[in-house]
Amino acid sequence: MGAPSCAFDAEVVVAGGGLAGAALALALRRQGTSVVVVDKADFPREKPCGEGLLPHGVALLQGLGLGDVVDACGGRPFRGILYHCHGVVAAGDFAHGATGRGLRRRLLDESVRARAASAGATLVRARVDRASVDPDGATLMLDDGRALRGRVLVGADGPRSTVRHSLGLDGGAPRRARFALRRHYRLRPGAALPDRVEVHVGHHHELYVTPVAAADGSGDAVIGVAALCERAVFAAQGGRPDERLDALVAACAPLAARLQGAVPDGPALSCGPLRVRARDVAQGRALLIGDAAGYVDAITGEGMSLALQTARLAVDAVGAILGDGDVDAAAARYRRARAVVFRDHAVLTQGLVELARRPFFARRVIARLGREPALFSRLLQVNDGQLPLTAFGLGNLARLALGASPR
Ligand SMILES: Cc1cc2nc3c(=O)[nH]c(=O)nc-3n(C[C@H](O)[C@H](O)[C@H](O)COP(=O)(O)OP(=O)(O)OC[C@H]3O[C@@H](n4cnc5c(N)ncnc54)[C@H](O)[C@@H]3O)c2cc1C
């Protein structure tokens, strides 16, 4: 690796080796494509995430031949979602007995990276400072002065993507930003893990509880607690992330009770704004995948599945570019395919964010879901990308929108 030249360091250079980048690298290596993945983090690393991988995401991992990774990371099964919303409770299960998995990102991302490396991907620890594309290839400029050149560039560098920014693909800032906090807790001995992801809807924030594995691989019962908050709530808590999260947990009686005698399993992390827009997800020989391509909100817990899906779509696009060299056609196909998987997700997620901002309506909708578990289950199928929004049914949509009076 030296100064930019016509020589390529690999057919594909990937900025960001989190879930999207590592999954892409693994899939490309399986096809015999040479790939270099650059990430600024020291792995294993923590990542602020609710860590609930929905059933479709679990299937995508299995499709990548990573089913054993789910078990090796101590993936904790959950069968649905349990809402507590201003005194109203609703439990919904995934259709056909499917389960999601609570997967500690520290373990999951490291495992997928290790698989990519053993398949022959080159992993580089460096920060990407700049990216550029030209008609023949693309270049990543690294913070150590090196330049990496590939025939195709993939930006998998998360929500604050340097690749997206360098290529002028940043979209506008969100009108109302939401922020997040996340921490793990070891529960007191004998405490049971939740079998659904629990969501406690508060005023201008929600708290999510996901069962996960302990960072040291012990069998201890550990939960991840993530808070998604409006800017005002996030700022009002002040102090360090752990103090902010403590304040929100203390105000949530059922969660505070669950955490009696629990000890933190690592520090609290924060991040935001959550909403990220991209003007485009492809530019010549460059593609954006995962959060780098855009993100709505963590309220629907689908980001990891989307990261895996967009990585899979990018494998096809890379293959087409390296194969027949028709860059524009491959980019157009990628744009269309990615829009198809993203559109329903974006509508549903933004709808839920708006609902969470309106407690009166949120209570009514949760009350309806509580009375109609089959409707809840169908909604979870849409959320999981297994059913198009159009197939949800107008009658179902109307019943949901009207809600029910909380008892
Ligand atoms: C609070 C919260 C809760 C969430 N809960 C869930 C959930 O329950 N279920 C779910 O499925 N999804 C959830 N998500 C979404 C999920 O975390 C993301 O969608 C997913 O991590 C996207 O993967 P990625 O690989 O695109 O990005 P990331 O996982 O962010 O990986 C990007 C990588 O790029 C690297 N990088 C960034 N910039 C550079 C640079 N300049 N140079 C080199 N490397 C760089 C980073 O170090 C990182 O390793 C949640 C997100 C948040 C914020």
370, part of any domain? no
State in Å: Cα 400 to ligand 1 middle: 31
Atom of ligand 1 nearest to the CA of 290: 26
Whether residue 197 sits in one domain with residue 311: no
Whether residue 155 sits in one domain with residue 46: yes
Residue closest via CA to ligand 1's atom 49 equals 18
State in Å: Cα 287 to ligand 1 middle: 17
pTM, two decimal places? 0.96
**Beta-carbon neighbour count of residue 405 at 10 Å?**
9
Closest CA to 314 of 338, 296, 294, 295: 338
Backbone angles phi, psi at 175, to 5 degrees: -70, -45
Residue closest via CA to ligand 1's atom 17 equals 49
290 within ligand 1 shell (Cβ under 6 A):
yes
* Calpha distance 326→321 (Å, rounded): 6
18, part of any domain? yes
How many residues are present in the chain?
407
Radius of gyration for the alpha carbons in the chain, expressed in angstroms and rounded = 21
User: Domain end: 237, 271, 305, which one?
Assistant: 271
Low-confidence ranges of the chain (pLDDT < 70): 1-6
Whether residue 168 sits in one domain with residue 29: yes
Atom of ligand 1 nearest to the CA of 274: 53
Whether residue 207 sits in one domain with residue 253: yes
Is 289 within 8 Å of 156 (Cβ atoms)?
yes
Domains in the chain: how many in total? 2
297 within ligand 1 shell (Cβ under 6 A):
no
Whether residue 245 sits in one domain with residue 182: yes
308 within ligand 1 shell (Cβ under 6 A):
no
pLDDT at 173: 87
State in Å: Cα 268 to ligand 1 middle: 16
Backbone angles phi, psi at 251, to 5 degrees: -85, -5
In which residue are the tokens 């996901």 written?
A: 210
81 within ligand 1 shell (Cβ under 6 A):
no
Residue closest via CA to ligand 1's atom 21 equals 304
Structural domain span for residue 187: 178-271
338: CATH = 3.50.50.60
Amino acid, single-letter form, for residue 376 = F
Whether residue 109 sits in one domain with residue 141: yes
Whether residue 226 sits in one domain with residue 296: no
State in Å: Cα 405 to ligand 1 middle: 38
Atom of ligand 1 nearest to the CA of 272: 53
379 within ligand 1 shell (Cβ under 6 A):
no
Residue closest via CA to ligand 1's atom 31 equals 18
225, part of any domain? yes
213: CATH = 3.30.9.100
Whether residue 282 sits in one domain with residue 206: no
- List pLDDT tens digits, range 57-71: 999 999 999 999 999
Atom of ligand 1 nearest to the CA of 208: 8
Whether residue 265 sits in one domain with residue 247: yes
50 within ligand 1 shell (Cβ under 6 A):
yes
pLDDT at 4: 40
pLDDT at 6: 58
301, part of any domain? yes
pLDDT at 324: 83
State in Å: Cα 395 to ligand 1 middle: 36
pLDDT at 3: 38
296, part of any domain? yes
User: Domain end: 309, 327, 348, which one?
Assistant: 348
41 within ligand 1 shell (Cβ under 6 A):
yes
